[in-house]
């Protein structure tokens, strides 16, 4: 068991260091692929060994130095480095928040913390295992995708000296830190890994060292440092109340007092910053300047998942309190507001970013609803969102490298130029908004879970309708005609492989939703007595997920819709007698069939200008952001206030 932990957490740190030292590209590629493969296998083996691990047999020291000491030293060193970066970037906020953390941590470790009953610093239950799987498998695929991507990226930049060693150093390091974070039981370890992810994301966002990258990275750093401070403060206050830094003890503390609720609220706020919830969304948006693998890795499938993981982890501790209701409102509001903001965007990566924040909001709303159904929805959404969003980021990255733009308007008729990538992208997009894909199963559950709370369910209903708009129009414009014999797109094998594997995983795992639920999520509820008393969803014959509230027949719906789609494809292919003609342009079309060109004044050809409705006057960033942020701040303050007023059941 300890070997597996070593592989999942320590190996990435070692491998990252090796990658940093090695400058040969072939060695680096080999090492990245090897590490990725090992991580993926180790995560699966860990799952196969059981659903709960308390890692009691772990060695407490390495080379005579206790792990705890090592983590403490590393923690101070890391905070020191962040402080230095803050000074270097002349960011008062970073310096302020980091210095506060340093002082607080020092006081806490030196004067407050007393040796308590020993417990293993690591722990894994199904929730951790699911995240380990996502991080190790999806994260590894993204890192491998990064190999050809970064080669092309650097060719484009024409650097004198490759900066890839540094890039992959942070990417791989990040995987290790994330695994550590989701496996940690000791809250100080938890905090350490939390800070490592903050630092890695900062370094990766500023990787290209453009002015914009540096500015956005600094913003990400101060926001996440604020989150770190909230986290540490939460831990310290919780220690003051409960006298332990054992995460499980905090989660299972039961009927929390006002002060403890405040601490839990602070932990939730830490989760908000990391998950880029309103009003902290700007760091995630800004992070899109980084190379696409960074966006995919840190900002869709893993880093932001750390934020929702924190909240979801502690959610059972405050089930049924006012904090929980406040959380549901905050999450629901972010879901709605960011879906609206996404409509105003034409930049593909920003659409993805807003959609990410929006979906994380839904996950947090579910965490706030805090019932078994809601919890299930949240976990399923984490899984399927990671897959679909990881896939979509990689797609946009590939498209951008081919067509030189990330604007969706430039992707019109992409099927002509990149047929394979276009089909995969369309699949990825549809997997975010239509059945039988897993995201929809979780959305179905989320609505059911929210149905008792009128406000939250209204927020969710409005938000999911807005979601349809920005996805459907994007998927539609990727389609187009393709001339017979047009050149087939060429892609590096690793790129193509990564896209194909993720796309396949989205489809297959969607089919396996009942299995995922039955095997991984259902067993969790035994350890969560604080959630509602209602019986959890059952997996019936034929993959029917059902309870008294409703039923989603996963297998039948999947089979019918897939067979329907295949039949439609068959009909589409049998187009022997179909005559292909121009689009209707009032009879004055000229030129290529699918070009949309018409004969204008002076007999000159004019291309019909097409564009989506971005509705800037309603959903534009300039119009919405300020008021949405303000409302979000009010909601968060409300949530904290309600929490601190005392554990009054809502």
Partner 1 sequence: MFDALVTRARVKSPWVLHFDCGSCNGCDIETLACLTPMYDIERFGMINVGNPKHADVLLVTGTVNHRNKKVLQALYEEMPDPKVVIAIGACGLSGGVFRDAYNVVGGVDRVIPVDVYVPGCPARPEAIIDGVVAALGKLRQKAVPTAAGAGGNGRFHPRMKATGSS
Partner 2 sequence: MKIALLTLAGLVLAPLAGGLLAGVDRKVTAWLQSRKGPPIIQPFYDLIKLFAKEKLAVNPWQVLCAWVYLMAAVFSVVLFFNQADLLLLFFVQAVGAVFLVMGALSVPSPYSQVGAQRELLQVLTYEPLLMLVFVGIYQVTGSFRISSVLDHPRPLLLELPLLYLVLTYALTIKLRKSPFDFSTSHHAHQELVRGVLTEYSGPFLGLVELAHWYETVLILGLCALFWATSVPGMAILLGATYFLELLVDNTMARMTWRWMLRYVWTVGLVLAFTNLLWLHL
Give residues in contact with partner 2 (CB under 8 A).
412-413, 415, 430, 433-435, 440, 443-444, 447-448, 451, 454, 457-458, 461-462, 464-466, 468-469, 472-473, 475-477, 479-482, 548-553, 557, 560-561, 564-565, 567-569, 571-573, 575, 577-585, 593-596, 608, 610, 612-613, 618
Q: Residue 548 contacts by C-beta under 8 Å, 6 or more apart in sequence?
A: 535
> What is the nearest approach in angstroms of partner 2 to the Cβ of residue 557?
7
The rounded distance, in Å, linking the Cα atoms of 100 and 105 is 8
> Based on CB atoms, which residue is closest to partner 1, 24 or 588?
588
Q: Residue 11 contacts by C-beta under 8 Å, 6 or more apart in sequence?
A: 35, 38, 39, 42, 176
The residue ranges that bind partner 1 (CB under 8 A) are 577, 579, 581-582, 584, 586-589, 599
* Structure tokens, 94: 């970073």
In 3D space, the residue among 276, 267, 299, 248 whose CA is nearest the CA of residue 127 turns out to be 248
> What is the nearest approach in angstroms of partner 2 to the Cβ of residue 577?
6
Residue 587 interface partner, choices partner 2, partner 1, none, CB cut-off 5-8 Å depending on type: partner 1
> Based on CB atoms, which residue is closest to partner 1, 578 or 617?
578
Residue 588 interface partner, choices partner 2, partner 1, none, CB cut-off 5-8 Å depending on type: partner 1
Residue 404 interface partner, choices partner 1, partner 2, none, CB cut-off 5-8 Å depending on type: none
Instruction: Answer whether 635's CB lies under 8 Å from 330's CB.
Output: yes
* Residue positions counted in the chain: 650
> Based on CB atoms, which residue is closest to partner 1, 209 or 579?
579
> What is the nearest approach in angstroms of partner 1 to the Cβ of residue 585?
9
> What is the nearest approach in angstroms of partner 2 to the Cβ of residue 602?
21
Instruction: Answer whether 133's CB lies under 8 Å from 381's CB.
Output: no
Instruction: Give the DSSP letter string of 432-458.
Output: HHSTTSHHHHHHHHHHHHHTT-HHHHH
> Based on CB atoms, which residue is closest to partner 1, 84 or 588?
588
> What is the nearest approach in angstroms of partner 2 to the Cβ of residue 79?
46
Instruction: Answer whether 357's CB lies under 8 Å from 448's CB.
Output: no
> Based on CB atoms, which residue is closest to partner 2, 226 or 337?
337
Residue 550 interface partner, choices partner 2, partner 1, none, CB cut-off 5-8 Å depending on type: partner 2
Helix (H, G, I), strand (E, B) or coil at 321: strand
Q: At how many degrees (to 10) do helices 322-343 and 348-369 cross?
A: 160
Dihedral Cα 477, 481, 483, 485, nearest 10 deg = 70
> Based on CB atoms, which residue is closest to partner 2, 454 or 622?
454
> What is the nearest approach in angstroms of partner 1 to the Cβ of residue 574?
14
Residue 599 interface partner, choices partner 1, partner 2, none, CB cut-off 5-8 Å depending on type: partner 1
> What is the nearest approach in angstroms of partner 1 to the Cβ of residue 589?
7
Dihedral Cα 350, 355, 356, 358, nearest 10 deg = 130
Instruction: Give the DSSP letter string of 164-230.
Output: HHHHHHHHHHHHHHHHHHHHB-BHHHHHHHHHHHHHHHHHHHTTT--HHHHHHHHHHHHHHHHHHHH
> Based on CB atoms, which residue is closest to partner 2, 32 or 373?
373
Residue 549 interface partner, choices partner 2, partner 1, none, CB cut-off 5-8 Å depending on type: partner 2
Helix (H, G, I), strand (E, B) or coil at 53: strand
| The residue to which tokens 């610093």 are assigned | 121
Residue 464 interface partner, choices partner 2, partner 1, none, CB cut-off 5-8 Å depending on type: partner 2
Residue 505 interface partner, choices partner 2, partner 1, none, CB cut-off 5-8 Å depending on type: none
The rounded distance, in Å, linking the Cα atoms of 223 and 321 is 27
> Based on CB atoms, which residue is closest to partner 2, 34 or 560?
560
Cα 552 to its chain centre, rounded Å, is 25
> What is the nearest approach in angstroms of partner 1 to the Cβ of residue 601?
12
> Based on CB atoms, which residue is closest to partner 2, 103 or 610?
610
> What is the nearest approach in angstroms of partner 2 to the Cβ of residue 471?
8
| The residue to which tokens 């000491």 are assigned | 69
């Amino acid at each position: 068991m300890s070997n597996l932990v070593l592989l999942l957490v320590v190996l990435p740190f070692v491998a990252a260091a090796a990658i940093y030292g090695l400058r040969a590209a072939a060695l680096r590629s080999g090492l990245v692929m090897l590490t990725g493969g090992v991580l993926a296998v180790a995560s699966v083996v860990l799952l196969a060994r059981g659903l709960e691990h308390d890692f009691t047999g772990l060695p407490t020291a390495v080379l005579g130095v206790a792990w705890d000491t090592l983590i403490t030293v590393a923690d101070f060193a890391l905070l020191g480095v962040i402080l230095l970066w803050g000074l270097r970037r002349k960011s008062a906020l970073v310096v302020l928040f980091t210095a506060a953390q340093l002082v607080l941590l020092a006081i806490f470790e030196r004067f407050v913390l007393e040796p308590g009953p020993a417990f293993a610093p690591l722990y894994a239950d199904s929730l951790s295992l699911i995240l380990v799987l996502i991080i190790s498998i999806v994260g590894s695929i993204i890192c491998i995708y990064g190999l050809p991507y970064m080669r092309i990226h650097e060719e484009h930049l024409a650097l004198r000296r490759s900066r890839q060693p540094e890039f992959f150093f942070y990417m791989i390091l990040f995987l290790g830190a994330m695994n550590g974070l989701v496996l940690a039981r000791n809250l100080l370890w938890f905090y350490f890994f939390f800070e490592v992810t903050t630092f890695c994301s900062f370094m990766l966002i500023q990787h290209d060292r453009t002015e914009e990258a540096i500015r956005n990275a600094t913003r990400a750093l101060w926001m996440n440092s604020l989150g770190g401070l909230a986290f540490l403060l939460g831990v310290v206050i919780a220690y003051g109340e409960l006298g332990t830094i054992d995460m499980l003890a905090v989660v299972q503390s039961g009927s929390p007092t006002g002060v403890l609720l405040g601490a839990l609220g602070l932990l939730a706020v830490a989760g908000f910053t990391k998950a880029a919830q309103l009003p902290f969304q700007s760091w995630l948006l800004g992070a899109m300047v980084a190379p696409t693998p960074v966006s995919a890795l840190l900002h869709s499938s893993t880093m932001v998942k750390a934020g929702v993981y924190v909240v979801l982890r502690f959610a059972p501790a405050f089930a049924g309190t006012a904090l929980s209701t406040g959380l549901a409102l905050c999450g629901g509001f972010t879901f709605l507001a960011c879906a609206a903001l996404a409509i105003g965007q034409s930049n593909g990566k920003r659409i993805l970013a807003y959609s990410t924040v929006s979906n994380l909001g839904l996950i947090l709303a579910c965490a706030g609803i805090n019932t078994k159904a809601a919890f299930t929805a949240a976990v399923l959404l984490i899984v399927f969102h990671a897959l679909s969003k990881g896939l979509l980021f990689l797609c946009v990255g590939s498209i951008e490298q081919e067509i030189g733009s990330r604007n969706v308007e430039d992707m019109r008729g992409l099927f002509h130029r990149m047929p394979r990538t276009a089909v995969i992208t369309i699949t990825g997009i549809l997997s975010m908004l239509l059945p039988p894909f897993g995201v929809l199963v979780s959305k179905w559950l989320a609505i059911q879970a929210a149905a008792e709370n009128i406000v939250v369910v209204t927020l969710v209903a409005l938000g999911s309708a807005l979601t349809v708009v920005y996805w459907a129009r994007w998927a539609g414009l990727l389609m187009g005609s393709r001339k017979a014999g047009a050149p087939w797109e060429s892609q590096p094998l690793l790129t193509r492989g990564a896209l194909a594997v993720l796309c396949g995983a989205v489809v297959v795992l969607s089919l396996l939703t009942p299995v995922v639920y039955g095997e991984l999520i259902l067993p969790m509820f035994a350890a969560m007595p604080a959630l509602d008393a209602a019986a959890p969803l059952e997996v019936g014959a034929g993959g029917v997920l059902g309870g008294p509230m409703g039923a989603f027949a996963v297998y039948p719906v999947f089979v019918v819709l897939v067979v329907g789609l295949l039949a439609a494809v068959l009909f589409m292919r049998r187009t022997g007698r179909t005559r292909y003609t121009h689009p209707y342009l009032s009879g004055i079309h000229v030129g290529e069939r699918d070009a949309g060109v018409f004969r204008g004044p002076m007999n000159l050809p004019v291309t019909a200008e097409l564009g989506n409705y971005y509705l800037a006057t309603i959903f534009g960033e300039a119009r919405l952001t300020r008021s949405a942020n303000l409302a979000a701040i009010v909601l968060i303050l409300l949530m904290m206030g309600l929490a601190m007023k005392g554990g009054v059941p809502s």
